[in-house]
Amino acid sequence: MAKILIPTPLRQYADKKDSLEAPGSTVGEVLAAATAQHPDLRKQIYTEEGKLRSFVNVYLNDEDIRYLDKDKTAVGANDTLSIVPSIAGGWAGERA
């Protein structure tokens, strides 16, 4: 089974675990299996239409799946998926 690394902001939706293991031969299958067990996590990373939210990046090992075959990217038993939510914002004040 592939390993999925859960970032700190999403752990509350995955029983406070820092990683999960899920079966599947593609990124989409692995994420579907993991989110079937953790429906609250699904709501955080997928839209109601079932697409990955625009601010959620997924990496297979160290490769961004957007530059591979997206959710159809093949996954092996020893592979690691990383869910990386984009972080925006910052300080918009004046500099001293």
Amino acid letter, 79: D
Residues of the chain above pLDDT 90, percent = 86
- Reported as half-sphere exposure (CB side, CA atoms, 13 A), residue 70 has a value of 5
Cβ(83)–Cβ(37) below 8 Å? no
Q: What is the structure's pLDDT at 87? A: 72
Q: Is the pLDDT of residue 21 over 90?
A: yes
Is the model more confident about 96 or about 76? 76
Structural domains of the chain sorted by starting position, each given as residue range(s) with its CATH number in brackets: 2-85 (3.10.20.30)
Q: Is the pLDDT of residue 95 over 70?
A: no
Q: Is the pLDDT of residue 90 over 70?
A: no
Q: What is the structure's pLDDT at 91? A: 65
Question: Which pair of tokens denotes residue 63?
Answer: 């490769």
Is the model more confident about 74 or about 94? 74
CA pair distance 24, 52, nearest whole angstrom: 17
- Reported as half-sphere exposure (CB side, CA atoms, 13 A), residue 63 has a value of 13
